[in-house]
Chain A
Amino acid sequence: MTRLTQFDVIRRNLSRKPFRTGILAAIVFLFSFTLYCGTVISQGLGAGTRMMSERLGADVLFVPYGYDGKIQNSLLRGEPSSFYLDSRFADDLRGEKGVDKVTSQLFIATLRAACCTLPVQLIGIDPRTDFVVRPWMAAVIDRPLGESEVVVGHKIIGRVGETIQLFNREFIIAARLDSTGMGFDTSVFMDLDRARRLLLLSDLGPHLNLPDQLDRNTFVSSTLVKASPLVDIKELVNALSQKYAVKYNLDFVVVAGMISDIASALHMFSGFVYIFSGIVWALALVVIALVFSAIVRERRKEFGVLRVIGASRAALAQLVITEALLLSSAGALLGTGTAGLIMRLFSAYISVALQLPSISPGTASLLFTGGGVFLLGLLTGPLACLPAVRKLGRIDAYIAMREEA
């Protein structure tokens, strides 16, 4: 039994021109894919930057001279590195005007050799003074870390209660932090004194090339400063640098500046994504509009026949718009679906490749963005075919049918 509706006519017409149908759907696919990937990456970077701003807590990071780039790489991308600073600098800072909180951290890059489960950034934190990591560590562990316990970043392999080997010693994973989108995700945290002892007792210990003035029992890697409220950070950094830069061979990173740089990079990236998506969308609209104009011209007689046998102008408009809608829906569905799949499978690689802090948006956010992009893709065809639909209304059925083939 043959069934025939307007939808069957549309389907049959689309399938008889598979190349044209495929090209038009591919244009909508490209638009949906670009917009969805770009939006999700932008969202991830935005969330990563916000998270970084919230999580870092400090206003200024002091490091040994020349290591400002290293600490940024470590914080942003989790690139393991080791560098050493005199711990007395932190004591000196405590009495300075405009300084609210001071803490030190020790950064140790673990080896790729058999001593460790994997090469990671080991960060020693001072439990007495830390104001950077402990506030958000408190969400996963509400007690001091034991002698052989560590807290691991979100991307470190191993479950809570399992062990991880660092410098030939087994440590129990006491807790796992939530994703931060920063280098902290690939870091392992432990007590600062314990981290220092671990390093000195390791194979690296005898070969540690510490500057002469550093005390082997108290060295750190960086000193983090939280300024008092209403203090101008720039002026504070200038004052502290003038006083201590030479004495301790210092360099510094202003966190607001670092975040502002990231925000600028994000802004540029998002701008590029939306401009590129806009160009692809405009291209899709123009191409579909031109093709549908040609289709209406090519099918004048067919539309004339349909008018003569009783199809109203509205029915013909519906026919053309539904064709465009079907093309769009196929392109938008495939584009959004493929982009969603790729973002799901490769988001970690993408954020690493971008070298910026990034957090994958949650499922609800992915679905919401996907829905929005799909809708926009879906509307592309019907919007683009409107000029052709207007032309359709001007076809004189009788004259069209009398035209020679």
Chain B
Amino acid sequence: MKNILELNSVSMIYGPVKALHDVTLNVREGEWVAIMGSSGSGKTTMMNIVGCMNKATHGTVFLDGEKISRLNAKDLTAIRRDKIGLIFQQFHVISYLTAVENVMIAQYYHSMADEQEALEALERVGLGHRARHLPRQLSGGEQQRLCIARALINHPKLILADEPTGNLDEANQEIVMDIFHQLHGQGSTIVVVTHSPDVASHAQRVVRLEFGRMVREEQPVERHVA
């Protein structure tokens, strides 16, 4: 399997603060990696760089074979739009668009809105029956599934999820992780940033960050099934 993501000696320095220090990480195509660390460990900085929303001050980053570390803002936007699906802890949806429109807006900025495809994406996350509802009419778990449907609609090469279950109850957390399993089963590459050992336990590999440095890589702790 080829590497879909390569970080080589990546550092991010904000004035006197080294938010990320000499991080090297490879993620293979189809792999599910969890990045763990406490607050201030550099997880968000790393997400920003891998998600093409910021550029590293040092080092190189390759995404799907393309060197993204020196691209300009416009090209980074294009990469993000075409190759990355982002999922956040907060359910970031557009309040005045219906569920299906929230998915279609991602299609619109990618290429062209296609309602049928958007409806199918909602079906896949179990929200087919809620397609015409506004976000305020959806529960937290449903809103997060809507965000997942939107992140997946343009068939990204890499799914980046930042604390995707942080605001969910146990039942919804399970539903979301099931969806991730399905995606992984279909060959998607997933990078999850979390400080939940339970969420990390779903991954194939866990990377630990501390004070901006990658301290170790480990196999996930085996999950206890009730």
A and B: real partners?
Answer: yes
B residues 97-117 touching A (CB-CB < 8 Å): 97-98, 100-101, 104-106, 108-110, 113, 115
- Whether the Cβ atoms of B101 and A310 lie closer than 8 Å is no
State the Cβ distance, A236 to closest chain B Cβ, in Å. Answer: 77
A16 at the B interface (CB under 8 A) = yes
Most A CB within 10 A of own CB, among B78, B92, B110, B113: B92
Provide the B45-73 mask, 1 if CB < 8 A to any CB of A, else 0.
00110010110000000000000000001
- Cβ-closest 9 pairs across A and B: A310-B81, A310-B109, A309-B106, A4-B104, A4-B113, A305-B92, A398-B53, A312-B77, A16-B96
B90 & A402 in contact (Cβ 8 Å cutoff): yes
Binary per-residue interface labels of chain A (1-12) against chain B in the complex, 1 for a CB within 8 Å, 0 otherwise: 111111001001
Evaluate whether A2 and B109 lie within 8 angstroms (CB atoms) in the complex, with A307-B77, A396-B53 already known.
no
Selected from B53, B54, B96, B109, the residue in CB contact (under 8 A) with A311 is B109
CB distance from A10 to the nearest CB of B (A): 11
Tell me if A304 is interfacial: C-beta within 8 Å of chain B.
yes
Contact status A310-B80, CB under 8 Å: yes
**In the complex, which range does the number of interface residues on chain B fall in?**
35 or more
Chain A contact residue count (CB 8 A cutoff):
30
CB distance from B73 to the nearest CB of A (A): 7
Q: Is the interface of A mostly helix, strand, loop or mixed?
A: helix
A176 at interface by CB-CB < 8 Å: no
CB-defined contacts of B105 to chain A, threshold 8 Å: 4, 9, 306, 309
Can you list 21 A-B pairs with a CB-CB distance of less than 8 A? A2-B98, A2-B100, A2-B101, A2-B104, A3-B113, A4-B113, A5-B113, A12-B97, A13-B96, A301-B92, A305-B92, A305-B94, A308-B51, A308-B86, A309-B150, A311-B77, A313-B73, A313-B77, A398-B44, A402-B44, A402-B162
Q: Which residues of B contact A (CB under 8 A)?
A: 44, 47-48, 51, 53-54, 73-74, 77-78, 80-82, 86, 88-90, 92-98, 100-101, 104-106, 108-110, 113, 115, 150, 154, 162
How many inter-chain residue pairs (CB < 8 Å) link A and B? 84
CB contacts (< 8 Å) of B97 on chain A: these are 4, 9, 12
A405 at the interface (CB under 8 A from B): yes
Interface-central residue, A1, A9, A305, by most chain B CB under 10 Å: A305
Question: Chain A residues with Cβ under 8 A from B80's Cβ?
Answer: 308, 310
Give chain A residues whose Cβ lies under 8 Å from the Cβ of B110: 309-310
| Distance in angstroms between the alpha carbons of A6 and B96 in the assembled complex | 13
A304 x B92 contact (CB < 8 A): yes
**Nearest-neighbor residue (CB-CB) of A310 within chain B:** B81
Q: Across the interface, do B109 and A306 meet the contact criterion of CB distance under 8 Å?
A: yes
